[in-house]
Amino acid sequence: MNVEITRLASGLTVVTETMPHLESVALGVWIKSGSRNETEDEHGIAHLLEHMAFKGTARRSARDIAEEIENVGGELNAATSTETTSYYARVLRDNVPLAVDILADILTESEFDEEELRREKHVILQEIGAANDTPDDVVFDKFSEVAYRGQTLGRPILGTPDTVKGFTPGQIRNYLSRNYTTDRMFVVAAGAVDHTTFVKQVEERFARLPMTPSSPPVLEVARYIGGDVRETRDLMDAQVLLGFEGKAYHMRDFYCSQILANILGGGMSSRLFQEVRERRGLCYSVYAFHWGFSDTGIFGIHAATGGNELPTLVPVIIDELRKSSETIHQQEIDRARAQIRAQLLMGQESPAARAGQIARQMMLYGRPIPNPEMMERLEGITTERLTDLAGRLFFDTVPTLSAVGPIEQLAPLTDISTALSTPGIQTKKAAG
């Protein structure tokens, strides 16, 4: 792993991985701050800031930003998540100075013009409307809301129409000054990049970043609650998400949870896919996932099916969860490890994927994790650890159920909870 790290006097961390066989470079700025760092009256502002960063600086208009990067065949984009925000570009090696200049410009000299803000609010309102019209987006948003009721972690990243409409340039600057500081930011590049040269470019262009926040960053401790949320809609299919509190990134069972999710629903050979779709034909989509956050996690099973299949589908899923707490085969662990190893190695062939991976590891662990070390962590996972984890995850915690669509025949959460706590019991069809 040809990774080099430099921490500037300002506190900003610069990381590169040289991939000399390439002609392009993927580079970006990752900030250890996202929607969880919003105050009560800032719901949606992290995402709005990400949009507004591209809407004009002291030196460039919004059109200039777009044209300058595309004039050289480059790409520029950004993303906001629960705990991070990223701004990234991909260019040919000769155009790295331009990409660094643009990224620094939008992060240190954005003007947040009132007219641009008005237009971008309208764009985000359309984005919120589109998300509300997409059932598989809605089912995840509602799941988070009930799993972490009344907390920033449970709020949709986009915000609400009312919060978005009310934001001012001053509020955006306050969020920016509190969260976009050098101690929380990482500039990462992968591809045809020279570390020494890149560090000098970053040091020069990012000199205006503040070193300390204007006030302490906000991050309330997560409290998983669980519960039930349903929305009946006149749709062709029902979206159902059954989940449990998972493991944070730094917890011992984090990697074990990743393996368990893969075995249960990580591909066409997984237990849920084979049993629910291939053998019984109960749905066209079913998978399991595990998301880790800094202090909590989510382990979930998502299925999309017809409303008439729900009385059969849910008991089958619960039965597969129960089986996973009783028996895991070594062959399944080996297959899951092979899939993760392949993903890691394939990611190394993409500079964009590699830059993102390095940035995430720097934010989470303070250093890049070599692939052999990652695989060594997975090697210690045994069948006994997996069955023990499954028992604790699925049968010792409060479940969260989110459902959207023709869900009249979906069993009550009390029945599902009883089935999860009593061996061999089946959920019954909801009355009415």
Q: Where are the domains of the chain?
A: 3-205, 227-421
pTM attached to this predicted model? 0.92
Locate 362 and state its tokens: 């720097």
Report the CATH number of the 3-205 domain: 3.30.830.10
376 is catalytic: no
Interhelix angle for 330-347 vs 383-395, to 10°? Answer: 90
The CATH classification number of 227-421 equals 3.30.830.10
Q: What are phi and psi of 297, to 5 degrees?
A: -165, 170
CA 127 – CA 373 distance, rounded (Å)? 40
d(CA 346, CA 24) in angstroms, rounded, equals 17
Three-state DSSP class for 30? strand
CA distance 30 to 4: 17
Say how far apart CA 395 and CA 279 lie, in whole Å: 25
Measured from the Cβ of residue 28, the count of other Cβ atoms closer than 10 Å reads 24
Q: How far is CA 406 from CA 272, 285, 292, 306, 313, in A?
A: 22, 16, 31, 8, 14
pLDDT in tens, the chain (432 residues): 689 999 999 999 999 999 999 999 999 999 999 999 999 999 999 999 999 999 999 999 999 999 999 999 999 999 999 999 999 999 999 999 999 999 999 999 999 999 999 999 999 999 999 999 999 999 999 999 999 999 999 999 999 999 999 999 999 999 999 999 999 999 999 999 999 999 999 999 999 999 988 887 778 899 999 999 999 999 999 999 999 999 999 998 999 999 999 999 999 999 999 999 999 999 999 999 999 999 999 999 999 999 999 999 999 999 999 999 999 999 999 999 999 999 888 888 999 999 999 999 999 999 999 888 888 888 889 999 999 999 999 998 899 999 999 999 999 999 999 998 865 444 444 333
* Pair 244, 400: CB distance under 8 Å: yes
Choosing from 17, 38, 42, 50, which is the catalytic residue? 50
Q: Are the folds of 3-205 and 227-421 the same? A: yes
pLDDT at 425: 47
